[in-house]
């Protein structure tokens, strides 16, 4: 069957994009993807001008600003691409909304330090008439897109059980030591968003965590496991293992992110080529349905990093072009943020938590 692994692209590729941030995710993912797609980043600013200059030279960006504020003050910028730590993002969104010069904002995930901050970001953008989208880029990994195609076509039948099993060793950023959390809002948020993208909204989540032996700074959520419960009895299970055994301490490693969707009529299994060497390893998928003699194994050259970042910017530009809501708009992402918040509450209270406990102020 036909599998759609590419995001819809805007007809207009010359929206003037201003980039806030110049770290790895910008230089090795955002800007690589934008140039590949023919998008138009025209200005950049960072906490350190030297870093911004280095990134600008690498990616042929004409204008480097000394400060974020200077870039925000440029009325020619149509779209902001924000890629700063979570504790700095809301202030930049507020500043952009106060100026009301940009048409759209692509915010980094997590959209806020918590659900309340995410709600505030959405409120500010709606009041300012700015279209807000969120960089939940795993949705545009080729294997994740292919799985969505199978589900939309009904090829697997009614979903019964789905899992995402991450055995990987992420590179934690310095700001995470300051914030004291690592996995749920950084890695698990991708997997929770994928489950939502594939299957819609779960009713409840049960989450259990422990610290990661390798991570030396104080943290609450190094290794995370969780179960999502759906009203139609579908269950989704996530294991986000940032230890994966002593792979950096002298033991052979088994690093991977695998997903699996079992339906009444078929089975799909994917492997996301991240945290491997090189990190641009393409994702893979195999699937089979009732009556198939063997698994189908489509292959592609695209990978999560950097190709998925075409999709996250494209969905915002398409929304601006067509006057529609982005595929991963702020309102949609609040549901992912609520699920993450419910996971933290589940950990704290050692119980299953309904998502409505987060989203409904009147809920006990």
Q: Taking a C-beta distance cutoff of 8 angstroms, is the pair 257, 272 a contact? A: yes
Query: What are the φ/ψ torsions at residue 92 (nearest 5 degrees)?
Result: -70, -40
Q: Which residues of the chain have pLDDT under 70?
A: 361-364
Q: Please, is 186 exposed, middle or buried when counting C-beta atoms within 10 Å of its C-beta (0-12, 13-18, 19+)?
A: buried
E-strand ranges in 96-179 read: 104-107, 131-134, 159-167
Residue 277: partners with Cβ closer than 8 Å, 6 or more residues away: none
**Residue 274: what pLDDT?**
86
Domains delineated in the chain? 16-137+309-328 (3.40.50.720), 142-303+339-346 (3.30.360.10)
Classify 107 as helix, strand or coil.
Answer: strand
**CA atoms of 343 and 356, how far apart (whole Å):** 12
Distant-in-sequence, close-in-space partners of 83: CB < 8 Å, separation ≥ 6: 19, 20, 21, 23, 25, 26, 30, 108, 135
Instruction: Return the bridge partners of 16, or none.
Output: 40
pLDDT value at residue 275:
79
What is the model's pLDDT at position 362? Answer: 58
Euclidean distance between the first and the last CA atom of the chain, given in angstroms as a whole number? 47
Q: How far apart are CA 79 and CA 62, in angstroms?
A: 16
273 neighbors 138 (Cβ within 8 angstroms) = no
Please give the pLDDT value at position 211: 96
C-alpha 265/C-alpha 168 separation (Å) is 31
Structure tokens at 77: 């910028």
User: In angstroms, rounded to a whole number, what is the distance separating the alpha carbons of residues 310 and 246?
Assistant: 35
pTM of the model: 0.96
Tokens of 27: 């230089």
Query: Which pLDDT score is estimated for 361?
Result: 63
DSSP string, 215-262: --S--S-SEEEEEEE-TTS-EEEEEEES-TTTTTTTS----EEEEEEE
Q: What is the pLDDT of residue 364?
A: 41
Retrieve residue 130's tokens.
Answer: 């700015």
Q: Is 317 helix (H, G, I), strand (E, B) or coil?
A: helix
Tokens representing 305 are 């990093």
pLDDT per position as a tens digit, 249-302: 999 999 999 999 999 999 999 999 887 777 789 999 999 999 999 999 999 999
DSSP, collapsed to helix, strand or coil, labels residue 257 as strand
């Amino acid at each position: 069957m036909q599998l759609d692994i590419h995001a819809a692209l805007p007809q207009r590729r010359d929206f003037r994009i201003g980039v806030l941030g110049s770290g790895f995710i910008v230089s090795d993912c955002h800007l690589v993807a934008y140039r590949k797609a023919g998008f138009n980043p025209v200005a950049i600013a960072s906490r350190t001008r030297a870093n911004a200059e280095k990134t600008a030279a690498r990616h042929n960006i004409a204008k480097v600003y000394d400060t974020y504020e200077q870039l925000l003050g440029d009325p020619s910028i149509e779209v902001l691409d924000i890629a700063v730590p979570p504790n700095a993002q809301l202030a930049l969104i507020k500043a952009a909304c106060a100026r009301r010069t940009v048409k759209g904002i692509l915010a980094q995930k997590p959209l806020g330090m918590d659900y309340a901050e995410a709600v505030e970001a959405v409120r500010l953008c709606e009041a300012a008439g700015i279209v807000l989208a969120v960089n939940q880029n795993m949705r545009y990994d080729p294997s994740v897109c292919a799985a969505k195609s199978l589900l939309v076509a009904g090829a697997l039948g009614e979903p019964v059980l789905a899992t995402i099993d991450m055995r990987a060793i992420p590179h934690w950023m310095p700001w995470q030591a300051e914030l004291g959390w690592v996995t749920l809002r950084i890695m698990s948020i991708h997997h929770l968003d994928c489950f939502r993208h594939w299957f819609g909204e779960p009713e409840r989540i049960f989450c259990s965590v422990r610290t990661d032996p390798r991570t030396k700074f104080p943290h609450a959520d190094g290794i995370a496991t969780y179960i999502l419960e759906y009203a139609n009895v579908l269950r989704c299970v996530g294991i986000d293992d940032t230890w994966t055994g002593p792979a950096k301490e002298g033991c052979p490693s088994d690093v991977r992110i695998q997903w699996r969707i079992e339906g009444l009529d078929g089975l799909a299994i994917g492997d996301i080529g991240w945290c491997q060497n090189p990190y641009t390893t393409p994702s893979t998928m195999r699937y089979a349905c009732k009556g198939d003699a063997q698994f189908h194994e489509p292959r592609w050259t695209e990978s999560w990093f950097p190709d998925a970042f075409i999709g996250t910017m494209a969905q915002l530009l398409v929304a601006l072009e067509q006057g529609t809501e982005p595929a991963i708009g702020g309102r949609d992402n609040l549901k992912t943020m609520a699920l993450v918040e419910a996971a933290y509450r589940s950990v704290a209270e050692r119980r299953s938590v309904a998502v409505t406990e987060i989203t409904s102020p009147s809920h006990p």
